[in-house]
Amino acid sequence: MFNYDKYIRKDKFPHIWCSGCGNGIILKSSIRAIDKIGWDKNDVMTISGIGCSSRATGYLDFDSLHTLHGRALAFATGIKMAKPKMNVVVFTGDGDAGAIGGNHLIHAARRNIDITAVIFNNNIYGMTGGQYSPTTPQEFVATTAPYGHIENSFNFMELAIGAGASFAARTTVTNPKQVENFIHKGLENKGFSVIEVVSNCHVQFGRRNEMKSPIQMFDWIKERIIPMSKAEDMSEDELENKVITGVFKNIEKPEYVEEYDKNIMAKAEGE
Amino acid sequence: MAKGKKYIIKIKEDYCKSCRLCYSRCPTNAITANPKNMKVQINDEDKCIGCLVCENICPDFAIEIFEAEDN
Ligand SMILES: Cc1ncc(C[n+]2csc(CCOP(=O)(O)OP(=O)(O)O)c2C)c(N)n1
Ligand code: SF4
Ligand code: SF4
Ligand code: SF4
């Protein structure tokens, strides 16, 4: 019932993602969110780094930049500074945003620059063959963790909020309507918005962890979901390895480009 | 959902990658698997309640639901 045609580059379809990969679900939900907010297509810019998830920009019919691994937010910051009226949306992976691009993530959050970042968190480096990422859970197997992973995971919500983002929400591909709603809320926020969407890479992650089909991975994601309202009454032990979903932060605070114009440009031009 | 509303299920077979996500979730079995290749196929269009579960979950833009015009 939703017509995606207006927003996609039809000649690039069918897309390259594996059968059942959640990336397509996030792409579609993002399109519905952008449609809902009603922005003119020419006022939207989509920017991505490198990874399976970052291919999203290539399928969307907006002005777009498919940049360097980890650097989507650096490019996005430049675009937003040069063209403040542009609505800038970043598509990035857990590796792209949390590993090589982690620094850009925390500083975009610190500045509270008006950019919406959608993190496709599939707990792995999908594109390069299943190396562990900053969100691979402990004890799970990756090509670079053949005996099971021992590192602690990043919590994108705590990271974004701690660094200063004014909007942070987590959802999963098992609930496409919620993905759409949270991205829509993030787009509405004037400031830095992070929407983490927990997704499935059954090919590079699931396959090595006894979940080789998308349905098995969806079941695994679903059984770990705890809505935020419920999580409030649970202990830290009970919440271990769970996926808490909800809007973690949604506040108003000064936005970087507006502050820059007010405090720096105004003074520089006044001199 | 108004009673008796009819829906049309449109499938783009060449886009479908047989992931099974749509028909494993359809609450009414209006859609099912083609046993030959596990692609989606219509089982009984009259059963469709227009919930859009299939359309929203399909990662491949391969299934769309429309309200029938004679509703
Ligand atoms: C500077 C640089 N280092 C490493 C790579 C190789 N590389 C490409 S994608 C990728 C990781 C992708 O993981 P993620 O961001 O989680 O995306 P996914 O493929 O899982 O969607 C890496 C390490 C690269 N392209 N550029
Ligand atoms: S390798 Fe994983 S993340 Fe990449 S397209 Fe396939 S399922 Fe999706
Ligand atoms: S709209 Fe709902 S009832 Fe109709 S085919 Fe899709 S999942 Fe089944
Ligand atoms: S969800 Fe889409 S790609 Fe998967 S089986 Fe259904 S129609 Fe085919």
CATH value at residue B56: 3.30.70.20
Rounded to an integer, what distance in angstroms lies between the CA atom of residue B7 and that of residue A53?
33
A15/B60 Cβ within 8 A: yes
What tens digit of pLDDT does each residue of A167-186 get? 999 999 999 999 999 999 99
Among A residues 87-126, those touching chain B with beta carbons less than 8 Å apart: none
Q: Is A199 helix (H, G, I), strand (E, B) or coil?
A: coil
A14/B14 Cβ within 8 A: yes
Taking alpha carbons only, the member of A255, A265, A128 closest to residue A201 is A128
Ramachandran angles phi, psi of A135, nearest 5°: -120, 10
Q: Does pLDDT of A235 surpass 60?
A: yes
Full domain range(s) for residue A52: 15-270
Q: How many domains does chain B have?
A: 1
Query: Is-contact A89 A63, C-beta < 8 A?
Result: no
Mutate: best of A19, A21, A52, partner B, most B CBs <10 A? A19
- Whose structure tokens read 């390895």? A241
Mean pLDDT of B13-32: 98
Among A residues 196-235, those touching chain B with beta carbons less than 8 Å apart: 213-215, 218
Q: Does pLDDT of B58 surpass 80?
A: yes
pTM (two decimals)? 0.98
ipTM of the complex: 0.95
What tens digit of pLDDT does each residue of A120-155 get? 999 999 999 999 999 999 999 999 999 999 999 999
Q: Which of B19, B61, B65 is opposite residue A13, by nearest beta carbon?
A: B61
Q: How many domains does chain A have?
A: 1
Q: What letters, b where the CB count within 10 A reaches 16 and e where it falls short, cover A157-171?
A: bebbbebbbbbbbbb
Q: How far is the CA of A105 from the centre of ligand 1 (A)?
A: 16
Full domain range(s) for residue B37: 10-70
Taking alpha carbons only, the member of A152, A135, A58, A132 closest to residue A94 is A135
What tens digit of pLDDT does each residue of A73-98 get? 999 999 999 999 999 999 999 999 99
